[in-house]
A and B are shown apart, each in its own frame.
Chain A
Amino acid sequence: MGPAVKTTESILHNRNKQLGFIFDNKNVLGFLMIAPAVIYILALVGYPLVLAFIYSVSNITIGSSDFSFVGLKNIQGLIGDFDFKTALYNTIYFTAVSMIIVLVLAKILALILLKDFKGKFVIRTLVLMPYVAPISLGVIGWLWMLDSIYSPINWLLQHSGLFGPDFWPMWLGKPNLAMSAIIAVHVWRMLPLATVIMLAGLTSIPQDIQDAALVDGAGYFRQLFQITIPMMLPIMLVAVLFGIVFTATDIIIILVLTRGGPYGSTQVLVSKAFFTGIDAGDLATGAATALFLFPLLAAVAIFMLRIARRAEVA
């Protein structure tokens, strides 16, 4: 007498004919189903990535089909260039400052949004708008909010008495103000994403731990700093990592708001790469400029891997 229960493997084994082989065999089917995606990614991400490295040590331009290697000349040229150094500094500065602000604000906002209240859906829609709406369009809104003549923000602050009659900041016209404006818009954009991530993290903290803390007599802030924040550390880390990536690689806010001005004071790596590589046609230097972001992104990638592995174990 054969086995009372047929296993799926034995059934499939019996049907292993020509075509069945493709549709049943775990390895073959698995391979076939993933192949198109992998091929596509290798061709359109892997290949250009390699090209980016090759371009950065060559003299390729948009106009000509000349191509020869120039070693590290491009990179040496960049390191000596003042505009490039400004761009590199700005990239790090904007990212760091906006991330710190976002982290603090998002934590507060997430705690506020934790409680259920009427109209939560509407509020959430409003709070999400900066992140979800097409970036360039939202930023155009800011272009007017910060306009040198008509800024509604200045108007409001002046009419409410907070600004003196002669105090009318030229947000996009003075280097320091422009940098602050860029950081503000970055914060504006990342806050929704960070908040929602933190919110999800907050709701995933098991209730029993919080109850135990209450029983032990922990006050609100004690609870916050000794339980909530440590437990949310992986989530906060994810929010930070994504924030870093989206802020450091952003070109839209710069291009629409200041185009790198005034006097190149708000230039970042990506915008510089764009102006050099596409506008001016020097693909090689442009590629080299953009590649300076690669170590940062690689570091973020490694961190993500760590978190994912830890999440697996958990």
Chain B
Amino acid sequence: MVLKIAHFGSLAAFALFASLPFLWMLITTFKQDADLYNRANNPFFFNMAPTLAHLKELFHGTLFLNWLLNTAWVGVLVVLITLFLAIPAAYSLVRLAGRWGERLGIGIFLTYLVAPTILFIPMSRVVANLGLQDSLWSLVLVFPTFTVPFAIWLLMGFFKTIPQDLEEAAMIDGYSRFGAFIRMVIPISTSGILTVVIFSFTLVVQEYIYTLTFVTTASRYTVSVGVPTFLVHGDVYNWGALMAGCLIASLPVVIVYNFFVERFISGLTLGAVKG
């Protein structure tokens, strides 16, 4: 009985620690300013009536909607590019490349570790030389550098679990190797592909440093950089709208992600743990 309470208690403590900022975001989104900036009031309750004013301010008074659209647009394009590059590559590494395929696969995965923090400075020059400075296309071009390696790794793990007999059967039926790949392997891989889509999109939404470096016009920012940079007017933060923005941009990602965690971990631990 004591064990149960301790179990529940520590769980509650961890969950609280993890979600505290977000819970506070939720409350503050609907809190009136006079309520918020009053030190005497309990920050965790509504001491005055909740308000929708911050949401209105967020959507009408700032570029938040632009940023959301930019993020979505970049996300979709990057995911498509990632799928286009990663699916054939992963298949090739697993089925067609033999011994050195495994090595190459690990090598590609390691580039995931290198990417933004070391590369952002020379990358800024590359982007400028291509004339993509301050354009969302620079993001579309560069983001796959961290989504593709990880996608290839995830998909490799996934393709390994598909028995070869399916493709053999297709080839005996008259399809070419490539045809077997398109007709048999891809339809079966929908869950793996969906996982890659979710994670790539998450990585895009979270990205900060490339966006900060390449983009300078306010309307072209993504949510991740736009909110901290522009909803902070000097030293005066419009906290209500700010929190609303953070919450709206975070929640969908979190909810969807939770469904795919196991597969993600399996990929992350290099197959040391079966997902």
A residues whose Cβ falls under 8 Å from a Cβ of B: 6, 8, 11-12, 15, 20, 22-27, 29-34, 36-38, 40-41, 44-45, 47-49, 51-52, 55, 60, 62, 105, 108-109, 112-113, 115, 117, 121, 123-130, 132-145, 149-150, 152, 155-156, 159, 188, 191-192, 196-197, 199-201, 204, 234-235, 238, 242, 245, 249, 251-252, 255-256, 270, 273-274, 277-278, 283, 286-287, 290-291, 293-294, 297, 300-301, 304-305, 307-308, 310-312, 314
- Determine whether the beta carbon of A124 is less than 8 Å from that of B258: yes
Q: Is the interface of A mostly helix, strand, loop or mixed?
A: helix
B242 within 8 A of partner (CB): yes
Interface centre among A8, A55, A113 (most CB of B within 10 A): A8
- Determine whether the beta carbon of B228 is less than 8 Å from that of A126: no
- Determine whether the beta carbon of B253 is less than 8 Å from that of A197: no
B residues whose Cβ falls under 8 Å from a Cβ of A: 7, 10-11, 14-15, 17-22, 24-25, 28, 36-37, 39, 42-44, 84-86, 88-89, 91-93, 95-97, 101-102, 104, 106, 108-111, 113-126, 141-142, 144-145, 148-149, 152, 168, 171-172, 176-179, 202, 205-206, 208-209, 212-213, 223-225, 227-228, 237, 239, 242-243, 245-246, 249-251, 253-255, 257-258, 261-262, 265-266, 268-275
Name A278's contact: one of B15, B114, B116, B124 (CB within 8 Å).
B124
- Other than the given A132-B257, A138-B246, 5 more pairs (CB < 8 A) read A15-B176, A45-B114, A138-B250, A270-B117, A278-B120
Provide the residues of chain B in CB contact with A126, threshold 8 Å: 15, 18-19
Name B177's contact: one of A29, A133, A152 (CB within 8 Å).
A29
Shortest distance from the beta carbon of A122 to any chain B beta carbon, whole Å: 9
Q: Roughly how many angstroms separate A141 CA and B251 CA in the complex, as a whole number?
A: 14
- Determine whether the beta carbon of B119 is less than 8 Å from that of A45: yes
Provide the residues of chain A in CB contact with B237, threshold 8 Å: 143-144
Shortest distance from the beta carbon of B117 to any chain A beta carbon, whole Å: 4
Interface centre among B44, B97, B113 (most CB of A within 10 A): B113
Least CB separation from B41: chain A residue = A155
Name B92's contact: one of A34, A156, A255 (CB within 8 Å).
A34
Shortest distance from the beta carbon of A287 to any chain B beta carbon, whole Å: 5
